[in-house]
Chains A and B, each alone.
Chain A
């Protein structure tokens, strides 16, 4: 657990991103089991529940994430399990409740992030999600502000680019949608210098759009 006053919750982060015109998957905070069930009914199933706490950075490691919940009973049970296992892992964590979101249909997983370089200021990063970013470090960087050309180059620069174009029958990812998303993120961090770090991880890229499924914002 990292005690961080500066870590925004997923719901707060997505709220800010949405206002900035960055496509995010709709995510709502449920403070009780009852609320979690009624939100999921409105959204439709299957849903994903995640613990919402400014003190928990690695949500899934502490049992704070439940995927593919298909009905109200499962949602209720998941809510209780999340709260109890996070409390056990992080007894001092302040828990606001759980976030509820629709389980996104699978797309090509990418990551878009921002960190600050001591010499050049905010820098955007792009890469394919999962093993590509973690093990192969197949990512590209550009300094903010990022132009259309920069965004296009940073997408094409990664070695895994052919995967985005559609590989072995997998549907291609919309490059224009990713490009637009990167530019919006650049504008967003430029307007909000109080943001220290940002992670849209993963973003799901589809043939016609790209949507941030999880998001994290860390303030200065």
Chain B
């Protein structure tokens, strides 16, 4: 599906050379920041700074005009005032540029007739010259595999998650959170006003891209509703698509209009559209990143029967009870353990009534070996699909110390493989923050999903199942 879109947009994500227009050797310009970002990311091809003042920046020659750049230019990043954009497009046509990304703002998002008119003129020129436009009013493409960075200059690891965002700010947050939580991207794009290439184009591309396994989207509005609806329908058939719609409330909708010049429509219709098309709707950045993380780590795993293990050291009663609530309220199940598991647990931990329930209280286990045995018994139980464990570092750290904590987490990573069942860890933030982060950074690269709270974990597990349910009902 969408094989042609893949061919059409692939060169944009893997350009051989990039020119940045709007660079100055004397004053601080966005263009200069962009050049520095590409350099620090290690972009593999030539980078050509362009700026009317000439001179040098980061040891690179600044060309007074795009036309004077000696080599071929595939991709152009533009950060110049809007009055000069049409002239620049002429230069791009002469240079046979493939795509132009406009950071430049001040177009339809301002709501002025001039803004709209200028967009029309840009589009007409680009179509005539066979050039694709990304934006305007955006931070463009992100492709860690090709060391292609956004304005931020940060590059995370390459992975299976693709994202599209109408907003540059949200795109930036997705990249940052991605780096922090090991949500690893194949490609990302912020497309702003999307006058040429818009959400549908990039969704189709990511659906066809063999390196993308799950797609996240932040949308505010669309000018081509029917096309977007049909695209989402087709994309959701082949890959999970997690969508966050901004501008849901009246005030938000007004902000959306002035933000990227999109026409906002009522929240109920958007939600209905997502459901009808098979997309998974989320309501904020937390939910979006949580859901993308769980899809990346567990790859469309199906299963809603959860074993909750709380209180690795203390009783953890309240935590376990509230974790049960979170699971059940999110549409998950917390089933009774099988008789066999109960008997084995009883033998191991002693016949204390409370320990034989789910949520499981393993605090009675004496010593680490018994703790591991108890957890293994629960994980092995065939009524259980997913093991959800709360690790309170504030409590565990003083008891087990750094080495003990490492041992426990090694066990969790190994447990996942032993039973081929997802192990999901909740690490609630507290006072032992450095230790907590250290553990998180070990678990995440081992395909173990990590969340800050049981509530967020439960919601993400539910969303993960939503996709398989939709697929099955088809």
Q: Which A residues have a C-beta under 8 Å from some C-beta of B?
A: 117-121, 123, 139-143, 149-150, 153-154, 157
Contacts and interface: CB of A to CB of B under 8 A. Distances in A.
Given A117-B266, A118-B225, A121-B226, 16 more contacts: A117-B265, A117-B269, A119-B223, A119-B265, A119-B269, A120-B225, A120-B269, A141-B268, A142-B276, A143-B229, A143-B272, A143-B273, A149-B473, A150-B276, A154-B272, A157-B275
Contacts of A123: 269, 272
27 contacts: A117-B225, A117-B265, A117-B266, A118-B265, A119-B223, A119-B225, A119-B263, A119-B265, A119-B269, A120-B226, A120-B229, A121-B225, A121-B226, A123-B269, A123-B272, A139-B268, A140-B272, A141-B268, A141-B272, A142-B276, A143-B272, A143-B273, A143-B276, A149-B473, A153-B275, A154-B272, A157-B275
Contacts of A142: 272, 276
B106 interface: no
A118 B226 CA distance: 10
A119 B272 contact: no
Contacts of B229: 120, 143
B221 interface: yes
Interface residues of B, number: 17
Nearest to B275: A153
Contacts of A117: 225, 265-266, 269
Main secondary structure of the interface of B (DSSP, over half): helix
A157 B276 CA distance: 12
Q: Which 10 A-B pairs have the closest CB atoms?
A: A119-B225, A141-B272, A120-B225, A119-B265, A117-B269, A142-B276, A150-B276, A141-B269, A142-B272, A117-B265
Contacts of B266: 117
A148 to B, nearest CB: 12
Nearest to B269: A117
Contacts of B225: 117-121
Contacts of B32: none
A150 B474 CA distance: 11
A153 B92 CA distance: 50
A174 B357 CA distance: 42
A149 B273 CA distance: 14
Contacts of A143: 229, 269, 272-273, 276
Contacts of B269: 117, 119-120, 123, 141, 143
B265 A120 contact: yes
A121 B272 CA distance: 13
A118 B265 CA distance: 7
Given A143-B229, A149-B473, A120 B275 contact: no
Interface in B272-303: 272-273, 275-276
A165 to B, nearest CB: 20
B222 interface: yes
B474 to A, nearest CB: 8
B370 to A, nearest CB: 48
A142 B268 CA distance: 10
A150 B275 CA distance: 9
B6 to A, nearest CB: 27
B183 to A, nearest CB: 30
Nearest to B262: A119
Nearest to B230: A143
Contacts of A140: 272
